[in-house]
């Protein structure tokens, strides 16, 4: 592997050197200034690429799982944190499975080895954390590599659509004997926030409840479904639809929940009571109701898009290739052309360095067909000294 990286980076370096050589012939005495400018541009561009690469790997929010909570005890805080990260990866994978296939798929994938899940990790960031002498408590965001996630699903014969529904804002309205509550903490708002559905196939956005929200939408306006106020909230969160979801406690362990309106999955008309199943009281009942509402929306979206092509139903192959580029803009344009090529299912960066990168190209066609498709897209895939190199033709 080291020799491959060395060869591939050498190809990139030769490409960069060729550029400088051409500039020397054209610029003559100005070569020193030009060389410094090119080097500076490459360094800045590649630094930007390194940052952009992380975002690109998780550009489909379906593969990003936020709010993964962990609470681990071990002999030391460091060991607890290490175990917590592994636990977060496993939890996030289960959440992804729930997103794309519901509880049945999550149960089916529950036995996937931890090491295999770790191998699909792209990045991990900490939202919140607390440590003690022998304990780690945290809330993490886990990002998976789309190409590797597609491959494992293909290996398991699981098909799903990556197409996401337009964003919908949910305004939770909690009715109490004392009046209507929207922005203050309450079981109903907590239930919707706990769904963490911002990146699900049917993305749901719960407003922040900051000063801008509370000034725009009062509890009375929300309960009365004031069109102008709701439209202002929808526009603020750049969503395609906004729904008011109401609920009220009925006794100590039941909520009556309603949600009526138009959304990306069609017209919704919910009006049903939900009871706690494990002695969790109203809070648990509210969580069950919110989860059920979202599950129905997910099922409708899946049915609506079940005829959409899914790459997971086809065998996926991967190929390490070297790609030479000199700026963030050039890489962005190249990547877009690669991804739009028929048969290509993913591009994941493995190593990035001056003058280019090593990427894993995933494809679902024969190799020669892939090369022909790339050529038609203006991209030449050639073997240079044992390394596959991709460049504009």
Q: DSSP per residue over 39-80, as a string? A: HHHHHHHHHHHHHHHHHHHT-SGGGEEEEEEEEEE-SSHHHH
C-beta of residue 253 within 8 angstroms of C-beta of residue 282: yes
Delimit the CATH 3.40.50 region(s) of the chain. Answer: 168-304
Other C-beta atoms closer than 10 Å to the C-beta of 196 total 17
- DSSP at 319: E
CA–CA dist 281, 284 (Å, integer): 6
Other C-beta atoms closer than 10 Å to the C-beta of 14 total 13
Delimit the CATH 3.10.28 region(s) of the chain. Answer: 64-155
φ/ψ (deg, to 5) at 202: -115, 90
Is residue 211 within a helix (H) or strand (E), and if so which, with residue range? Answer: helix 211-216
Q: Output the six-digit token pair for 198.
A: 């911002």
- Pick the closest to residue 165 from 199, 207, 195 (CA basis): 199
Sequence-distant (≥ 6) Cβ neighbours of residue 242 within 8 angstroms:
168, 169, 170, 171, 230, 231, 233, 234, 261
pLDDT in tens, the chain (393 residues): 334 344 444 444 444 444 444 434 444 443 333 344 433 443 334 334 434 433 433 357 889 988 899 999 999 988 999 899 999 999 999 988 887 777 777 788 888 888 889 888 888 888 999 988 889 999 999 999 988 888 888 877 777 777 888 999 999 999 999 999 999 999 999 999 988 888 888 899 999 999 999 999 999 999 999 999 999 999 999 999 999 999 999 989 999 999 888 887 888 888 999 999 888 899 999 999 999 899 888 888 877 775 443 444 456 788 899 888 777 778 777 887 888 787 787 888 777 766 788 888 888 777 888 888 888 888 889 888 888 998 887
pTM for the model:
0.56
C-beta of residue 45 within 8 angstroms of C-beta of residue 328: yes
* CATH placement of domain 168-304: 3.40.50
Domain 64-155 in CATH 3.30.70: no
**CA dihedral (72, 78, 82, 85) positive or negative:** positive
Is residue 317 within a helix (H) or strand (E), and if so which, with residue range? Answer: strand 317-324
DSSP sequence for 109-127: GGGS-HHHHHTTEEEEEEE
Q: Output the six-digit token pair for 119.
A: 């191998």
CA–CA dist 283, 276 (Å, integer): 8
């Amino acid at each position: 592997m080291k020799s491959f990286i060395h060869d591939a980076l050498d190809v990139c370096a030769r490409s960069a050197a060729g550029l400088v050589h051409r500039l020397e012939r054209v610029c003559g005495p100005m070569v020193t200034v030009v060389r410094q400018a090119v080097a500076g541009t490459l360094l800045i561009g590649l630094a930007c690429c390194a940052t952009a690469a992380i975002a690109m790997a998780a550009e489909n929010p379906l593969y990003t799982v936020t709010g993964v909570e962990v609470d681990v005890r071990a002999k030391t805080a460091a060991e607890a944190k290490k175990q917590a990260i592994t636990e977060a990866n496993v939890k996030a994978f289960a959440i992804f499975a729930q997103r794309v296939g519901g509880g049945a798929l999550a149960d089916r994938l529950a036995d996937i080895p931890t090491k295999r899940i770790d191998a699909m990790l792209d990045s991990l960031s900490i939202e919140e954390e607390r440590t003690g002498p022998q304990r780690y408590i945290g809330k993490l965001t886990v990002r998976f590599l789309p190409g590797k996630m597609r491959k494992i699903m293909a290996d398991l014969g699981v098909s799903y659509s990556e197409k996401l529904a337009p964003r919908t804002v949910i305004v939770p309205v909690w009715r109490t004997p004392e009046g209507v509550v929207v922005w203050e903490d309450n079981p109903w708002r907590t239930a919707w926030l706990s769904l963490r559905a911002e990146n699900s196939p049917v993305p749901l956005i719960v407003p922040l409840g900051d000063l801008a929200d509370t000034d725009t939408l009062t509890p009375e306006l929300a309960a009365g479904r004031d069109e102008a106020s709701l439209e202002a909230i929808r526009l603020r969160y750049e969503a395609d639809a906004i729904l008011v979801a109401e609920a009220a406690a009925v006794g100590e362990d039941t909520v009556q929940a309603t949600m009526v309106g138009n959304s990306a999955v069609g017209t919704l008309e919910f009006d049903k009571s939900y009871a706690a199943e494990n002695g969790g009281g109203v809070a648990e009942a509210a969580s069950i109701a919110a989860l059920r509402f979202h599950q129905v929306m997910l099922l409708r979206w899946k049915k609506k898009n079940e005829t959409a092509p899914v790459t997971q139903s086809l065998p996926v192959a991967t190929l390490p290739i070297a790609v030479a580029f000199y700026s963030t803009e050039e890489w962005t344009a190249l990547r877009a052309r690669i991804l739009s090529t028929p048969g290509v299912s993913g591009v994941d960066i493995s190593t990035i360095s001056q003058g280019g990168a090593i990427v894993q190209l995933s494809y679902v066609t024969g190799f020669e067909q892939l090369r022909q498709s790339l050529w038609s897209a203006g991209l030449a895939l050639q073997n240079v000294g044992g390394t596959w190199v991709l460049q504009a033709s």
